Structure 1
Amino acid sequence: MAAKKLQETLSKGVLEEVHRYGGMKQTGVSLRYMMEFGSRPTPRNLLLSAQFLHNELSIRIARRALELQSLPYGLSSKPAVLKVRDWYLDSFRDLRSFPEIKDKNDELEFTQMIKMIKVRHNNVVPTMALGVQQLKKDLKPKVDYQDLDEIHQFLDRFYMSRIGIRMLIGQHVALHDPNPPPDCVGYIHTKMSPVEVARHASEDARCICFREYGSAPDVNIYGDPNFTFPYVPTHLHLMVFELVKNSLRAVQEQFMNSDKVAPPIRIIVADGIEDVTIKVSDEGGGIPRSGLPKIFTYLYSTAKNPLDEQVDLGIANTTTMAGYGYGLPISRLYARYFGGDLQIISMEGYGTDAYLHLSRLGDSQEPLP
């Protein structure tokens, strides 16, 4: 059914082009390359970047559009997934109808166009999450969501690809800033303080906790605030925010009806030779061993689903404590995007430690699906 709708949506010529570009090889880039290339945002470099993106984004977006039409268990036919697929097809059309980029004016027009593509895709994650929720309703009650490997693998590929697309577009657009912040090369901060980013992310997470529960445990951060390394602050903020948010919720619910003072969340930042490691520890009761394999799947959440199918996802942008079922798996993808990882260790009856490893070498290629 979804495939039929795709035929109806596209002319034969565009459909052939989607298949042609979807079969081409993607080209990965590293954090170090982005940093070195972006440190000289000359008109010539910006022109080369636009020419690369004109082709590369077409390939990456075509691949995702094709994959969105052939998902198992009927996921492709869910209304939310069809909406996402149409966004990808619209973006592919925009890219392929844009003429060859030959000079500075072409490059500036192209930059405005990909800016609009990035905005169009702002709500892809909650909309895909809604599609997965629509699938869950159909599959209930006798399905072990861990067994739906194809769905989890697809979503890992899909979200990792989205991280890459948004990074490439965001980096190119940011290089046009006539007054970039000190030590910033596009999205990359060459002297990012992980302690400082963790502090901001923790404050944001505590605000959400206050809003939900009326109070929030303290967060104590240990590490050298003067230590810096090159990374993307928005990526780190997202990951630490998600981990602290989970810890705050666990502690808050564990001690909600207790006379004891809720113990603080502890964040430790360690500066290693290969990795910068950030540990987020809580005393929120931990996760049962049987539940650990589920925490990195997309169809599992311990909280009530906050997605309301009546909400217009074009404007929905509220942050909740939990329930979407994709915070941890997507955080792990952000860590892996530049060669890091995320691990969760639990002591049931006591608490949880999350280890966020960030590669400080910066030369690992994007893990393209």
Structure 2
Amino acid sequence: MIKLIKVRHNNVVPTMALGVQQLKKSLHQKLHYEGLDEIHQFLDRFYMSRIGIRMLIGQHVAIHDPNQPPNCIGYIHAKMSPIQVAKDASEDARSVCFREYGSAPDVNIYGDPSFTFPYVPTHFHMMVFELVKNLLRAVQERFMESDKPTPPICIIVADGEEDVTIKVSDEGGGIARSGLPRIFTYLYSTARDPVYERLDVGSTGVVTMAGYGYGLPISRLYARYFGGDLQIISMEGYGTDAYLHLSRLGDSQEPLP
């Protein structure tokens, strides 16, 4: 029954995002993102509660699974390799990019392949996937009509005493400084609006390249759930750096609303 509850709610995020996009369409007049704090705060609380509930359900189901993989304690992998998970997430993002554009920039990953630390691989995969997907789209759209070779995305994994930090960089042209405050809001996306292209969202399990506007804010919530954070630094005209900080101290409380 618990497994079924988890599966039944798999499509909540894209369905909610679709609702937010339809709300944006219905508002017609020019949106003032600063004036919609109430919606953003509600969605932050809603999604953070959802992360917590799904973590509990997932942990409970995984703990009682007789075929649990080695080094796993439920959902938590005691010896997760960030390099390996980042590779898997990057390949998944590149396959989405291939499907959308017919080609995809390379992703170069730097760091110690033997380094491991305890974390939830599904959370880490989702965060890296969303970041790489955003940067792939920026690079692809910037260099699509160009004769220049497409520059690769770079991922650097750094092992600190307090944090494991993942830096994801591109040369996709960056974000204007005026747009930076909006990238963590749910009503903002630089991609074309998918609302009328995919009214059946969630029914087929197909991942869209971009457009719903929830990738970055939800990735930041996943990072903050275990005491980490996500920061975006941009050089307009050159590219964007995303810093994903994951706490390794194990002393953080659930930041539930």
SS of aligned partner of 1:224: coil
In 2: Cα distance, 1:360 partner to 1:307 partner: 39
Letter in 1 for 2:25: K
State the Cα deviation string for residues 311-365 of structure 1 (Å, max 9, x = none): 3456242111110110000000000000000000000000000000000112211
SS of aligned partner of 1:270: strand
Asked if 1:353 is matched to 2:229, the reply is no
| Aligned-residue identity in percent | 83
Whether the aligned pair in 2 keeps the contact of 1:130 and 1:309 (CA below 8 Å) is no
1:207 paired residue among 95, 99, 111: 95
Which residue of the partner structure matches residue 135 of structure 1? 23
Deviation, 1:131, is: 1.5
Which residue of the partner structure matches residue 240 of structure 1? 128
In 2: Cα distance, 1:368 partner to 1:194 partner: 26
Which residue of the partner structure matches residue 181 of structure 2? 293
Letter in 2 for 1:192: M
Asked if 1:168 is matched to 2:59, the reply is no
Asked if 1:265 is matched to 2:146, the reply is no
Deviation, 1:239, is: 0.3
SS of aligned partner of 2:222: helix
Whether the aligned pair in 2 keeps the contact of 1:263 and 1:283 (CA below 8 Å) is yes
Whether the aligned pair in 1 keeps the contact of 2:14 and 2:202 (CA below 8 Å) is no
SS of aligned partner of 1:280: strand
What is the correspondence of 1:1-369 to structure 2 with a 5 Å cutoff? 113-308=1-196, 311-313=199-201, 315-369=203-257
Whether the aligned pair in 2 keeps the contact of 1:146 and 1:297 (CA below 8 Å) is no
State the Cα deviation string for residues 180-215 of structure 1 (Å, max 9, x = none): 101001110000000110000001111111111111
Letter in 2 for 1:117: I
SS of aligned partner of 2:186: coil
Alignment RMSD (CA, Å): 1.3
Q: Which runs of 5+ in 2 are unaligned?
A: none
In 1: Cα distance, 2:246 partner to 2:118 partner: 10
Letter in 2 for 1:177: D
In 1: Cα distance, 2:197 partner to 2:47 partner: 21
Higher percent of residues as strand? 2
Deviation, 1:309, is: 8.2
Q: 1:309 to 1:162 in 2, by over 3 A?
A: farther
Equivalent pairs counted in the alignment come to 257
Which residue of the partner structure matches residue 107 of structure 1? none
Whether the aligned pair in 2 keeps the contact of 1:222 and 1:269 (CA below 8 Å) is yes
Structure with max Cα Rg: 1
Letter in 2 for 1:138: S
In 2: Cα distance, 1:187 partner to 1:143 partner: 40
Which residue of the partner structure matches residue 86 of structure 1? none
TM-score of the aligned structures, taking structure 2 as reference length: 0.97
Q: 1:265 to 1:312 in 2, by over 3 A?
A: closer
Q: 1:193 to 1:206 in 2, by over 3 A?
A: same
Deviation, 1:126, is: 1.2
Deviation, 1:129, is: 1.0
Q: Which runs of 5+ in 1 are unaligned?
A: 1-112
